[in-house]
Structure 1
C-alpha cells in the first residue's frame, strides 16, 4: 500500500514542524533587537553589528559538532540538548552584566540553532520517502520562515506591552521551555517511523529507537567530509552560491532603497511584500521538486535572483528607479520563494545513507559560509566601487550558481521516482 505525502506530513508534523515554529518564532522576536540591546549596553554601531553577527558565527561553528552529536546521540536527544543550551543562552542574554558576556550568549544561541536545525534535517533525510522528500523539507523550511516572519511582530507587541527589549528574550525562553517539554514527553517520531517502516528496521533490543541511523555503522565527521569531497566541491559550491544571493537580498535591497531616497517606512513595506511573496511560495517549491525534479526549482530560482540583481543594477539613476526597485524586489522574492527547501532537499539527496548527520554538518557549514560572506562581499565591493557594481556582482554569483546546478544536479541528485 502506497503511503500518501499528507499521511507522513501529518504523522511527523507535531514533533517536527511545531518545534521548528517555536524555535524560529522566539529567535525571530529576538533577532531585530540584538543590536538595540548591544547599543544600550554601550556598543557603537559597528560593535553592535558585530554582536549581531555572533549569531551567524555560532551557526557556522556549530554545524560540524552538531553532526557529531546527531550521529551519536540521535535527533531527539540532540534537540533537547540544543533547546536547553539555547534556553541558558537566552537567560544569559537577559542577565548579562557586560557586553562581552552578552556577545558570548548570542554566540551560544547560534550554536544551539545550528544543532537544532541539523537534527531535524537529519531526521527527515533518513525517514521521509524520496517521492515526497522535497515537500516535507520545503514545509520544514516554511515552518522556519513562518516563525521568522511572525517573530518581529511579536516583539513589537511585547515592546509595546512591557517597554523593555528584554521581554523578547523571556518570550524566547518560554518558547524553548515548551519546545523542550514537547520533545521530551511527546510521541517520538523516530519510533513512529521505525514502526511504520516495519520490523526489519528495528533491532530487537526492547528500547525505543532514538538514533538517526538504525543498524548502521557510523563514520566520523571528517572522514565523511573527505569521502564526500567530490559532491561538496561541486554541487556544494553551487548551493553555497544560492545561499549567498539569498543572504545578499536581505542586505542589498534596504541599502538600495536608501540610496535612491526612499524613507524607512517605504523600504519596510517593500521588504514586507517581498517577504510575503517568498513565504507564499514555499510549498510550491516542494511540489515542483517532487513532481518534476530538483533542477526545475533550483534553476528558475537562481536565474530569477541572478538576473534580478543584474537588471536592478542598471536602474539606479533612471527616472523610474522607485518603480524598478519595487518590481525587481518582487522578482527576487519570487526567486527566493521558489528556492525554499532546495538546500535542505539537495543535502538530503546526496547524503550517504550510513552517515547522513556527519555529511549534513559539512553541507550546512558550506552553505552557511556562502550566506555569511555574501553581505561582507557586497559591502566591500560597494565601498571599493559603487552599489550598482556590488548589486551586479551578486547577480553574477547567482548565475554562476545556476550554471553549477545545471551541471551537477543531474549527476548527483536522483530524480523522484514518480508522482504522488
Structure 2
C-alpha cells in the first residue's frame, strides 16, 4: 500500500509539482496576514502608507504580469517557477531586517515581480495538465489547498508575533518557502519554449488586439472581484486592532476561523463549476462577499467580527478557483502564456487597488467607510459576471462531466 501511494504521488502531474508547493506557500502567506499591517504601523505609517506598503507586492506583480507571460515562452515552466520563487522568498525574508517603511515597500515590490512569474508559470501548468471537463475541480482543489494553508498560517503567525515580535514570521516564511523551492526543483519537469511558434506571430500585443472585447468584459469584472478579495486582508486586521481594540493573536484567530469556513467549500465550488457552469459559482461568491463587507461597520467586538469575517470567508470559498478556471477556459492554445499574463495583469490590478482603497478612504473618511467601498466593488463584480461575461462550460461539456 505504501509503495502504491508513493507511486501515485510520483506519477500524479499535480500533487508534488503544484499542490504541495502551493500548500507551503499558502501557509507562508497566511503567517503574514495578521501581522503585516501592524508591522508597517510600527514604522509610524499612516493608514494610507500602510495600504501602499501592502499593495507594493501587488504593484510589482502588476508591472511584471504581461512581460512575465512573454518571458515564460522563452524560459519554460520550470525555470520560470524557480526564478520567481527564489525572488519572492529572498525578498520576504529580508523584511526581517528592514529599517524603514520605504525599505519595506521596495522589498514588497520586488517580491511581487517574483510572485508574478511563478504564478503565471503555475497557472499555465494547471491549464495544460487537466481537461476542461475536470478543470473546475482540479483548480478548485488548488484553491482549496491555498485556503488550507491560509487557515493554518494566521494563527501560527499571530502566536509567533505575540510571543517573539512582529518580525519572526518572516523567518518562518523562509523555512516553508525554501521547502517549496526544493519540491519545485525536484518534481516539476523541465521544458523549453512553452508553446511552439514565432513570438512575433503570437505576441502580447497581438493577443490583446485579438481578444480585447473578451478581456474588457471579463477583465473589468475580475478587477472588481479581486479588489474586494485583496481589501479584506487589510481591513479586517485594522478594524480588529484600531476600532475594536483586539490584539494580534485574537485577529489571527478570527482570520483562521474564516479560512476554515472558506476551505471547506473548494470541492463543492469545483463540482458546481464542472456540473452547472462557471458563473453558478462566480456570481454568488462575490455577492456574498459584498454583503459581508457591508456588515463590517456593524461589528462591535470579537464575536460579531468573527461572524462577519466567516460570512466573507464563506463567499470566498464558494468562488474557490473560479478566476483561474475562467482564465484557463478563455485562454487560446496558441497564445496561452501571453493571454494568462494579461489575465493576471487585470486580476492583480484589483489586488493592488484593494489595499490602496482601504488606506485612502480610511485616511479621508473613517476606516469603516472603506468596507462600504469594497462592498460596492463586490456587487459590481457579481453583476458584470452575470450579465456580460459568457459561460465557458458548454452544455456538451456538462454532459461529459456528468
Sort the TM-score into its range (normalised by shorter chain): 0.7 to 0.9
* Structure 1 partner of 2:345: 365
Instruction: State whether structure 2 residue 278 is matched by structure 1 residue 298.
Output: no
C-alpha change, 1:390 and 1:329, in structure 2 (3 Å) is same
Superposed CA deviations along residues 228-278 of structure 1, whole A, max 9, x for unmatched, are: 211111011112222122233334445556787564476655443322211
Superposed CA deviations along residues 4-38 of structure 1, whole A, max 9, x for unmatched, are: xx999943211111112222333333455455655
* Structure 2 partner of 1:178: 179
Instruction: State whether structure 2 residue 238 is matched by structure 1 residue 280.
Output: no
Question: How far does residue 210 in structure 1 lie from its aligned partner after superposition?
Answer: 4.4
Question: How far does residue 78 in structure 1 lie from its aligned partner after superposition?
Answer: 0.4
C-alpha change, 1:158 and 1:391, in structure 2 (3 Å) is closer
Question: How far does residue 409 in structure 1 lie from its aligned partner after superposition?
Answer: 3.5
Which runs of 5 or more residues in structure 2 are unaligned? 1-7
Map residues 12-411 of structure 1 onto 2, 5 A cutoff: 12-30=14-32, 32-34=34-36, 43-45=44-46, 47=49, 50-90=52-92, 92-94=94-96, 100-156=102-158, 163=164, 167-186=168-187, 188=189, 209-213=191-195, 215-218=196-199, 219-254=202-237, 261=244, 263-264=246-247, 269-310=253-294, 312=295, 316=298, 327-381=307-361, 390-410=370-390
C-alpha change, 1:387 and 1:86, in structure 2 (3 Å) is closer
Q: 2:273, 2:10 → 1: CA distance?
A: 17
- Are the equivalent residues in 2 in contact too, given 1:300–1:335 (CA < 8 A)? yes
- Report the more deviating stretch, 149-158 or 14-23: 149-158
Q: 2:97, 2:253 → 1: CA distance?
A: 34
Q: 1:254, 1:172 → 2: CA distance?
A: 19
C-alpha change, 1:260 and 1:407, in structure 2 (3 Å) is same
Question: How far does residue 119 in structure 1 lie from its aligned partner after superposition?
Answer: 0.9
Instruction: Say how many residue pairs are matched.
Output: 389
Q: 1:302, 1:180 → 2: CA distance?
A: 33
Q: 2:366, 2:111 → 1: CA distance?
A: 35
Question: How far does residue 305 in structure 1 lie from its aligned partner after superposition?
Answer: 2.4
TM-score (ref. length: structure 2): 0.82
Q: CA RMSD in A?
A: 3.5
C-alpha change, 1:106 and 1:327, in structure 2 (3 Å) is closer
Q: 2:354, 2:41 → 1: CA distance?
A: 25
C-alpha change, 1:37 and 1:210, in structure 2 (3 Å) is same
SS in structure 1 opposite 2:334?
A: coil
* Structure 2 partner of 1:191: none
C-alpha change, 1:8 and 1:250, in structure 2 (3 Å) is same
Q: 1:96, 1:254 → 2: CA distance?
A: 22
- Are the equivalent residues in 1 in contact too, given 2:231–2:351 (CA < 8 A)? yes
Q: 2:169, 2:358 → 1: CA distance?
A: 30
- Report the more deviating stretch, 171-180 or 287-296: 171-180
Q: 1:175, 1:354 → 2: CA distance?
A: 35
Specify which of 11, 14, 17 is matched with residue 13 of structure 2.
Answer: 11
Task: Identify which of structures 1 and 2 has the higher relative contact order when contacts are C-alpha pairs closer than 8 Å and 6+ apart.
Answer: 2
C-alpha change, 1:100 and 1:380, in structure 2 (3 Å) is closer
C-alpha change, 1:373 and 1:216, in structure 2 (3 Å) is same
Question: How far does residue 120 in structure 1 lie from its aligned partner after superposition?
Answer: 0.7
* Structure 1 partner of 2:401: 419
Question: How far does residue 414 in structure 1 lie from its aligned partner after superposition?
Answer: 4.5
